[in-house]
A and B are shown apart, each in its own frame.
Chain A
Amino acid sequence: MQNNPKKHFSPLGTGLVLVAGFFGLLAFINFGASSYIQRIMIGLCISIILVVSLNLSSGFTGVFSLGHIGFMAIGAYTAAILTLPLSLKLAYLPDLPGWLENTQLAFLPATLIGGLLAMLVAFLFGVSVMRLTGPYVGVATLGFLVIVNVILVNWDSMTRGARTFSGVPPFTDIWWVGGWTAVTIYVIWRLARSSYGRQMMAIRDNQIAAQSLGISVLRMRLLAFCVSAFFTAVAGSLWAHFIQSFSPKAFLFVETFAIITMLIAGGMGSISGSVIGAVGITILAEILRNAERGVNLGFVHIPPVYGASQIIMAVIFIVLIIFRPEGIMGKRELNFSQLFSFTFRRKKRKEVTSQ
């Protein structure tokens, strides 16, 4: 009897190993890494949450949203208003309604409220917009982003308008972002593997066939959009408590473009692809950002060119779309048990031959 090597690796076991490895990495970063690496890792985890959740609504159901950063803004502002210390609130936001002026919440409930609010907005907005197709959704969601921005800039009593919103307590650390990243990936992974996820992918791959099987396109798209908005807003809250002071400008096209690049690079429709895309582009962006300050190659000195990294990113993006539109992973997933069993089987074969 041939022993099936796959049996040695149950999904649960692989999952546990992964989770343990992940938290081991977090612990290592927390205690062993420099603060520079720590900050990059926090930013990276936030990007992963953003890209994975954008992937749920865009990659799995096939409707591309250009307005997701609007949900990030909702999460960031809501949570920041809720966690701002009372004394600062009185100074910065004297025109808040009374009940808000006297509320100060802990990090977790504030983040959850931000997420739920974004989910509600996503529902109200999605009920209408998720009926549209293709490029129309793109334009409508971009319109949404502009609407959110106009409201943030002009709603002085809540957001300080275009001025910087500062004094947000620095709650975000590697454990918070790591935890939320794990939760996001887990929930979206499970959702994608559930019958709901299958229905979403059916819609993406052949809408008419899916509809003829009785799948409600609007309902599935809405589900994906709302869940995705929730986690995007969570990332917003994490970012707000990481960066501590920000203005509405932060939630516009540059950020939108950054997460879209990560999504496309990794592969729309693949969760592990999203993670890979986020990691890859973050590293690349960091290198480019450092190179922007000028590079000394010993014999030649390239002078600092600020803003060049955005240009290079845009070029990379266009090249990607032309030559590898499906990204690194396409719609496939990294399969850990296969990966492990492959190496395992090879070892076994060696053992057999040596005997």
Chain B
Amino acid sequence: MTSLTPFEFIIQQAINAISIGSIYALMAIGLTMVFGILRLINFAHGDLIMVGSYATLFLTLAGVPFWIAVGGGIAISCLTGLLMERVAYRPIRGAQDVSMLLTSFAVTIFLENIAILMFSPSSRPFPAPGLLNSAMNFGALRVNSVDIIAIVVAGILLILLTFFITRTDMGTSMRAVSQDLLASRLMGINTNRVFVTAFGIGSILAGIVGILWSARVGKIDPLMGFYPVLKAFVACVIGGLGSLPGAVMGGYILGFLEILLQGILPASLTPFRDAFVFSILIVLLLFRPNGLLGSTEMEKF
């Protein structure tokens, strides 16, 4: 392998960072959308990622062509999300923030243990086809196809979402509900439908992220979703919880930050990378609790 010039090295790392940032951004959008509308921090988002990946895996093993299996996986992830909303979250809507937080924690424990029971706790290889699993060479640069695909998919989805949020009636309703639930209900918005839509979109995004993530990592296990989603929370907080552009920005910042920390931390400290990421979360919550884009107004003493 030819050695890289510093410039090529930076390009390589930048592609890496944008790709992982795209994945975080997609996760963060799902989380932040649900939070903005329901004031619910949905830990179980990570398990939707897991459900989507397992569904894709088993459909493939059953002989379904990979790309159809991907569609099936995303659909199953979406259904699981809607079911979750109906069974666990709808009955406690309007309860205290803490109750909702704890409920989502319980849903996580439930889904993860079901998955452990059904699929065994050990990890399985994820059968990504060549298109997702090859590397391209540009001179000395070596770029994984899945990175490029992640970047492109994220780009397309972001454009679609922006269109949806700003140009459609449903999108406008969603923005209204996230600003003021009571007022939008008085204005005749069917809030139930808004909640379901938010959950549906979040779950579809989770399904897509699941496939991208699994193809990137190459294997899946029942607990695969928890840590990435915790990190996506950091991304949400960087951009301001509840803000969609903020979530996207936070996702990319987090991607760059991770790659940067990997690069600049001395070798003895690299295993502590995640500790640094979460320390940043805490520092940010302190000084800019509404994120880099948000205002600094927040209940704080």
Most chain B Cβ neighbours within 10 Å, of A132, A139, A150, A154? A139
Q: Is B99 an interface residue (CB 8 A)?
A: yes
Task: Identify the closest chain A residue to B116 (Cβ).
Answer: A307
Number of interface residues of B (CB under 8 A): 49
CA distance A260 to B106 in the complex (A): 10
Q: Are A321 and B285 in contact (CB under 8 A)?
A: no
CB distance from B42 to the nearest CB of A (A): 11
Residues of A contacting B234 with CB < 8 Å? 143
Q: Are B41 and A138 in contact (CB under 8 A)?
A: yes
Q: Are A307 and B275 in contact (CB under 8 A)?
A: no
Q: Are A317 and B113 in contact (CB under 8 A)?
A: no
Q: Is B138 an interface residue (CB 8 A)?
A: no
SS class of chain A's interface: helix, strand, loop or mixed? helix
Residues of B contacting A136 with CB < 8 Å? 237, 241, 285, 289
The answer to whether A211 and B301 touch (CB under 8 A), given A311-B113, A314-B110, A321-B103, is yes
The answer to whether A315 and B110 touch (CB under 8 A), given A135-B101, A138-B101, is yes
Of B61-69, B71-79, B87-95, B165-173, the one touching chain A: B87-95
Q: Is A134 an interface residue (CB 8 A)?
A: yes
CA distance A136 to B286 in the complex (A): 10
Task: Identify the closest chain A residue to B286 (Cβ).
Answer: A128
Q: Are A313 and B109 in contact (CB under 8 A)?
A: yes
Task: Identify the closest chain B residue to A211 (Cβ).
Answer: B301
Q: Are B301 and A147 in contact (CB under 8 A)?
A: no
Q: Is B260 an interface residue (CB 8 A)?
A: no
Q: Are B301 and A131 in contact (CB under 8 A)?
A: yes
Q: From the candidates A151, A260, A310, name the one contacting B102 in the complex (CB within 8 A).
A: A260
Q: Are A139 and B117 in contact (CB under 8 A)?
A: no
CA distance A282 to B148 in the complex (A): 51
Task: Identify the closest chain A residue to B298 (Cβ).
Answer: A133
Interface residues in B271-301 by Cβ distance below 8 A to A read 271-272, 274-275, 278-279, 281-283, 285-286, 289, 298-301
Q: How many residues of A sit at the interface, in one of the four size bands?
A: 35 or more
Residues of B contacting A129 with CB < 8 Å? 282, 285-286
The answer to whether A140 and B285 touch (CB under 8 A), given A146-B230, A322-B92, A325-B95, is yes
CA distance A133 to B286 in the complex (A): 11
CB distance from A145 to the nearest CB of B (A): 9
CA distance A210 to B235 in the complex (A): 34
CA distance A325 to B100 in the complex (A): 11
CA distance A313 to B112 in the complex (A): 13
Contact bitstring A119-141, B, C-beta under 8 A = 1, else 0: 00000010011011111101110
Q: Are B110 and A318 in contact (CB under 8 A)?
A: yes
Residues of A contacting B109 with CB < 8 Å? 253-254, 257, 310, 313-314, 317
Residues of A contacting B282 with CB < 8 Å? 125, 128-129, 140, 143-144
Q: Are B233 and A139 in contact (CB under 8 A)?
A: yes
Q: Is B14 an interface residue (CB 8 A)?
A: no
Task: Identify the closest chain A residue to B101 (Cβ).
Answer: A138
CA distance A154 to B265 in the complex (A): 15
The answer to whether A64 and B102 touch (CB under 8 A), given A151-B272, A218-B301, is yes
Beyond known contacts A133-B298, A139-B233: 16 more, CB 8 A cutoff? A64-B101, A131-B286, A132-B285, A132-B289, A135-B39, A140-B281, A142-B230, A146-B274, A211-B301, A260-B102, A308-B117, A314-B106, A314-B113, A318-B110, A321-B99, A321-B102
List 12 A–B pairs whose Cβ atoms lie within 8 Å, in order of A's numbering. Answer: A125-B282, A128-B286, A133-B298, A134-B98, A135-B39, A135-B41, A139-B285, A140-B281, A143-B230, A143-B234, A310-B113, A317-B102
A residues whose Cβ falls under 8 Å from a Cβ of B: 64, 66, 125, 128-129, 131-136, 138-140, 142-144, 146-147, 150-151, 153-154, 211, 217-218, 253-254, 257, 260-261, 264, 305-308, 310-311, 313-315, 317-318, 321-322, 325
Closest 5 CB pairs of A and B: A314-B110, A143-B278, A134-B97, A154-B271, A150-B275
